[in-house]
Amino acid sequence: MDSLNLNKHISGQFNAELESIRTQVMTMGGMVEQQLSDAITAMHNQDSDLAKRVIEGDKNVNMMEVAIDEACVRIIAKRQPTASDLRLVMVISKTIAELERIGDVADKICRTALEKFSSSISRCW
């Protein structure tokens, strides 16, 4: 996704919109990657504070998914992309849905870890 071949469009605004979406998807991907890494670390180290931060961060990923999807819908409505441009927008839409699901998995890992942490503590008493 590094090169969207943005120089082929007549409209500079269309190029700017695609570049903005590309940047947002890359940011979202980085957030999800960090969430998953933090979820695994939280579970491995029994770090409930980190687990709670991952759970809170899932809201940001969800909001990004909605914002990027809305931007894709706007592009389809305003620009009526054809062929490869339409495929690109559709792939972006599917990609962000998968990234959001991965974020949900990180959230679930942390929720499960927090349950395990609390049940381990209660067994000690």
Tell me, yes or no, whether 4 lies in a domain: no
Report the CATH number that the domain containing residue 55 is assigned in CATH.
1.20.58.220
What range defines the domain where residue 99 resides?
A: 11-124
Q: What pLDDT was estimated at residue 102? A: 98
Residue 41 covered by a domain: yes
In a domain, residue 5? The reply is no
Sequential DSSP letters for the chain: -----GGG-S-HHHHHHHHHHHHHHHHHHHHHHHHHHHHHHHHHHT-HHHHHHHHHHHHHHHHHHHHHHHHHHHHHHHH---HHHHHHHHHHHHHHHHHHHHHHHHHHHHHHHHHHHHHHHHHH-
Which pLDDT does position 25 carry in this prediction?
A: 98
pLDDT at residue 9, rounded to an integer: 63
pLDDT at 120: 67
Residues 9-29: pLDDT tens digits?
667 888 899 999 999 999 999
Which parts of the chain sit beneath pLDDT 50? 124-125
